[in-house]
Structure 1
């Protein structure tokens, strides 16, 4: 379960007293560890570090230089130490490597034993983000933290951090994550980053460098159905994190408007309420935006007007917002919202009873890509498929800071690619423990090529959006992570420093910028290499005109004597051939290169079509996604 592996987490720090960071049952700290625990406000290394939390550093100089003023801890509660005043870092750390804690729930929901992905791995905390303006992190501090983490001896780095669009280039030091992670990866440290929360729009994925393992968020087979019973005895199921008491039937209202747009008064994000209308009642509103903050603002508005509950009709998503102080805010889709509205309009005294949420587990609930999860293709290099993989990131129960405003008994439910990232970091630690010789690229390949693209009933997975649709590689990369499959992938698409230099040269970055990133002189070939030949576990062609041939190399990490055959699912209207289409490995032949030729039957510009290339033997199916767009008239000149 991650024995001997050290996970470094860059985030808002740690709440060390949480039982999730107990070192019970753990042996001595690995002798190779060179890190330290630094003291500071309310953080004493002798009592707050142990055999689980083996390192804790904090970085603030870059932040203060960019912020231009000291932190006002009265307005923005914070600790000048590794201690977490926000909760985000504690939540991600416990998700990656938290110890077993029994009998945990969130206000009675989702009861059971909580643990991280790699509960026996060790944790090194690098506080690089500060509880100011919603959470801010300086690139200078991130770069310094990478330097320290590399020196300290971490095996995996987990960063639930992103920037805003447009993205900086891979060689721009203002993106401290791209630069710092490059240096970590070429030293064998896998760096796992979130894809960001700007979905479902295309081209919103962040942390797109090919050396980073980029994680999308999925839901899981758990839901919190919440009954809404109307005065006409019809009951609808909404979704909520509501654990309050059943108060029987109470009044139900809807803010009818007048004028040219009579529906404008009911927009959740723009409510202006008359307390006479709302006092003592549950209010129904319709949201045209899905952002969580809009729902919280609506709930506060209703509460201030004397309301006792809120029903939000919105585009259906599974990421739930818990409103403060147990105030019920229950989400329904537009169809159910409309039916509730028609009931309100059908009677002079509409009433409703809101019942507490329940926990539903298992087959009726299928995993989907989360609505908010940022989507590909990459806006820097669409030929490098991003995100790489998806993992649970919706309604995740984990430890948190005692200062987290939605905390219950030291735990909270949060959603985001921030929550998906440490799931994968924990899985990477498990793989490191089994295969310590694997490179970061080999680990990424193992995850991508074994990921699930179908649910437990063998039907395609969906992606939340407007409307929901079958998920494609720009939603979830290779698919939803499959840890057991990744432990024995058969073949891997490996990469080393030369492959990353190939990518940087193919991107057209100048020699001086690449040399600065590398820390040594690099001269790219006179003839620019093709980005299509970068040995990533995917094939993405963003602008296919006639025909293109590209190369991939696979390394056998399974039984020495193995024969694999190619199985092609071509994208619609695309012809794909592989040569050779049979790969024969033995004790001396461990790596084989093959060529893929892709041509289009389309005579018009298209969107992306998707397929796959799978190498199979009797045991393994090594699948990579194919994404192809025909573009006879380009939106820009390209150089293939």
Structure 2
């Protein structure tokens, strides 16, 4: 796991390296990294581009030596710009130079983690599925911008993988505990690392001393290994997490190639400078898909354009080159207006639970057995004493001597994000273990991520209702007892999917007309490759982790399969196919999809999951697509109020903004109106990618109290008519309303249901 999505890139201004020690000390304390974004490249001579960057920096810093010393990165492949160390006044000076679109300070991003492929309808070695049709993603190159890779894991085996695609221009980079000759192969074809931006952020430009990470593409955190193997890992049989979730592991596109760009470092921190260098290099190297499982915190804010950072600019130029970019929506849920990485050209991912659970039996002394959830893989506790904490789990401390020799029931009292609650749960477990307690039962609000319950210490989570039953048992008997048994793996019915509590929700604060997130995918309790517990023994290790970070590579893997089967589809076409074919009910049970949050009584809506849960096989044949080009995205920015000079800088050529364009008419595969007053009419255009002679009829599910009229109501496609536009009139007699109502618009030809979500809020 991030208003107006402006498209400037930034640069980092390097510390001035003055010969005078006093001046150097002053410069070091006053300078910081800035990104100078100069838009699209004006020519293909990369050395000349870098020289231009040095000349510009020299004109401000006063000498070529100072410019070279302060330069961190030159961005010269996918776009033009640089990162360097400089003072605020120098940054202001450079911002006024010709050719500079935007100058902004470096920002910091944070991480946002297999039954899942069967759950999504892509069983291994199956006929008539997207996996089979795409040859498992063969020759597609998936780039993963993350914390690196653990190359010895069997998930990166190149057994059965063909030659490296001829379009590949990248390479593997040597470094600490990473030898390209040993660690790269026909599967792991690229591995680079970019750390200079992070070092500057730490206040030690160019100095890696004291960095608790491998100065190489090798992963010390595990996050990058987990995400990359989920996207395109090779099959590995008999994989489990300590016996749980046993089966064959594989990534979504098991024959696709992986290119790793390590831009995340110790403490899970990513900087704009390194991220932009990752995007720039990936574009140059010839990748097909970019997966980015990190994002900014909300609220989103910067000088002119909230969240105008590395992901915004790098992703725009990638999409302009035909590269699909998939990014995590963030882990700030379940509150509304928390989604990040919401640029209109990005596929923004929410997280849902798959149809798999890890029930953990709790047997009370009266013989009653209740079920909790855990990844408890230790030994059965036997019958032990059971006590209830007098306060919330957060109040447990090493002064709580009554814990010793007992199993503890406690209730979480904290309100906050899932990650915050998980942190408090982890501390409570640590206290009980330290005080020689025999186990812990944590009662908490709906929360299915089990990251805080993943070792051999007896621990289990239950909901408040189950926790209350256990509490009543404790207070009703003189000598309460309990027994905690190891967790089991359960799949299929009656387990239904929910949108995970932690998954960030819309509406999108930067521009609520842009529906975000776009799609949901499995992100809770996902099993994938991980770093070994002992770095000196590089055995294949697998771990269960949760987050929109884990949902993102699921979508990236599916995008790789769609790229393989539809090589001429644009990133917008692939996104449309994914959104319009998504499941809006549980893939396994057919039950409604609920929204996991403060209450489980709310059905999920478009702000929870966009189009729904990704449906790979339907996305292979969507029937119709809502396509967009780079020019459409530029006009979208114009409609959002951006100056023609800014849009021109991004495009690399003069681009006039049409003042009459409405963002409501941008060809999104969704309709969101945050301020309907009376009536509004908008247009959409669909392209037929199904049978040449097709007739589609419209079906509308109007939001409550809203009238939706579509003209024409029938679309007739033929060899000469491949695209058709239609108008949608949306009206209401409501007055002001504080909330959104949801509906949908579907085109049906008897086989395909091409469905887009509608969300409307009225105002006077």
Q: Is the 8 A contact 1:21 1:53 kept in 2?
A: yes
Task: Name which of 563, 572, 587 aligns with 2:695.
Answer: 563
1:267 partnered with 2:396: no
Task: Calculate the aligned-residue CA RMSD, in Å.
Answer: 1.8
Q: Distance in 1 between matches of 2:692 and 2:308?
A: 45
Query: 1:460-479 residue pairs with structure 2 within 5 A?
Result: 460-468=592-600, 469-479=602-612
1:602 partnered with 2:727: no
The aligned residue for residue 413 of structure 2 is 288
Q: 1:141 to 1:481 in 2, by over 3 A?
A: same
Query: 1:82-481 residue pairs with structure 2 within 5 A?
Result: 82-131=217-266, 134-168=267-301, 175-256=309-390, 266-289=391-414, 290=418, 291-323=421-453, 325-403=455-533, 410-455=541-586, 456-468=588-600, 469-481=602-614
Q: Is the 8 A contact 1:391 1:420 kept in 2?
A: yes
Task: Give the secondary-structure state (helix, strand or coil) at the position aligned to 1:111.
Answer: strand
Q: Distance in 1 between matches of 2:685 and 2:322?
A: 20
Deviation per CA, 1:295-328, whole angstroms, max 9, x where unpaired?
1111111111221211100002211134465112
Deviation per CA, 1:232-281, whole angstroms, max 9, x where unpaired?
2111100000011113111111222xxxxxxxxx2112323545311121
Deviation per CA, 1:566-586, whole angstroms, max 9, x where unpaired?
100000000000011111111
Deviation of 1:516 after TM superposition, in Å, equals 2.8
1:31 partnered with 2:166: yes
Q: 1:74 to 1:246 in 2, by over 3 A?
A: farther
Task: Name which of 628, 631, 638 aligns with 2:763.
Answer: 631
Task: Give the secondary-structure state (helix, strand or coil) at the position aligned to 2:715.
Answer: strand
Q: Is the 8 A contact 1:295 1:321 kept in 2?
A: no
Deviation of 1:492 after TM superposition, in Å, equals 0.2
Deviation of 1:430 after TM superposition, in Å, equals 0.3
Q: Distance in 1 between matches of 2:423 and 2:752?
A: 45
Q: Is the 8 A contact 1:255 1:273 kept in 2?
A: no
Unmatched tracts of structure 2, length 5 or more:
1-135
Deviation per CA, 1:405-428, whole angstroms, max 9, x where unpaired?
9x9950000000000000000000
Deviation of 1:515 after TM superposition, in Å, equals 2.5
Task: Name which of 160, 182, 186 aligns with 1:47.
Answer: 182
Deviation per CA, 1:583-612, whole angstroms, max 9, x where unpaired?
111111111111000001313424100000
Q: 1:125 to 1:494 in 2, by over 3 A?
A: same
Q: Distance in 2 between matches of 1:627 and 1:172?
A: 23
Deviation per CA, 1:83-114, whole angstroms, max 9, x where unpaired?
00000000000000000000011110010000
1:618 partnered with 2:750: yes
Deviation of 1:288 after TM superposition, in Å, equals 2.5
Moved more, 288-297 or 86-95: 288-297
Deviation of 1:522 after TM superposition, in Å, equals 2.5
Moved more, 278-287 or 97-106: 278-287
Task: Give the secondary-structure state (helix, strand or coil) at the position aligned to 1:373.
Answer: coil
Q: Is the 8 A contact 1:85 1:404 kept in 2?
A: no
**Number of matched pairs:** 619
Q: Distance in 2 between matches of 1:557 and 1:504?
A: 28
Deviation of 1:403 after TM superposition, in Å, equals 4.7
Q: Distance in 2 between matches of 1:408 and 1:80?
A: 21
Q: Is the 8 A contact 2:374 2:454 kept in 1?
A: no
Q: Distance in 2 between matches of 1:589 and 1:324?
A: 56
Deviation per CA, 1:518-577, whole angstroms, max 9, x where unpaired?
23333312x242111110100000000110000100000011111101100000000000
Q: 1:111 to 1:57 in 2, by over 3 A?
A: same
Task: Name which of 196, 202, 208 aligns with 1:61.
Answer: 196
Q: Distance in 1 between matches of 2:534 and 2:590?
A: 39
The aligned residue for residue 15 of structure 1 is 150
Q: 1:293 to 1:343 in 2, by over 3 A?
A: same
Q: Distance in 1 between matches of 2:449 and 2:206?
A: 32
Q: Distance in 1 between matches of 2:464 and 2:208?
A: 42
Q: Distance in 2 between matches of 1:171 and 1:274?
A: 49
Q: Distance in 1 between matches of 2:705 and 2:190?
A: 54
The two structures have a TM-score, normalised by structure 1, of: 0.94
1:582 partnered with 2:714: yes
1:537 partnered with 2:672: no
Q: Is the 8 A contact 1:36 1:54 kept in 2?
A: yes
Q: Distance in 2 between matches of 1:11 and 1:457?
A: 34
Q: Is the 8 A contact 2:396 2:428 kept in 1?
A: yes
Task: Give the secondary-structure state (helix, strand or coil) at the position aligned to 1:552.
Answer: strand
Task: Give the secondary-structure state (helix, strand or coil) at the position aligned to 2:451.
Answer: coil
Q: Distance in 1 between matches of 2:181 and 2:549?
A: 30
Q: Is the 8 A contact 1:85 1:403 kept in 2?
A: no
Unmatched tracts of structure 1, length 5 or more:
257-265, 633-640
1:502 partnered with 2:635: yes
Deviation per CA, 1:2-40, whole angstroms, max 9, x where unpaired?
011000000000000000000000111001100010111
Deviation per CA, 1:424-474, whole angstroms, max 9, x where unpaired?
000000000000000000000000000000124433211101112100000
Q: Distance in 1 between matches of 2:364 and 2:654?
A: 72
Q: Distance in 2 between matches of 1:74 and 1:293?
A: 29
Q: Distance in 2 between matches of 1:229 and 1:196?
A: 37
Deviation per CA, 1:20-62, whole angstroms, max 9, x where unpaired?
0000001110011000101110001111000000001100111
Q: Is the 8 A contact 1:442 1:492 kept in 2?
A: yes
Task: Give the secondary-structure state (helix, strand or coil) at the position aligned to 1:470.
Answer: coil
Q: Is the 8 A contact 2:235 2:250 kept in 1?
A: yes
Q: Is the 8 A contact 2:675 2:760 kept in 1?
A: yes
Moved more, 508-517 or 488-497: 508-517
Q: Distance in 2 between matches of 1:565 and 1:348?
A: 69
Task: Give the secondary-structure state (helix, strand or coil) at the position aligned to 2:294.
Answer: coil
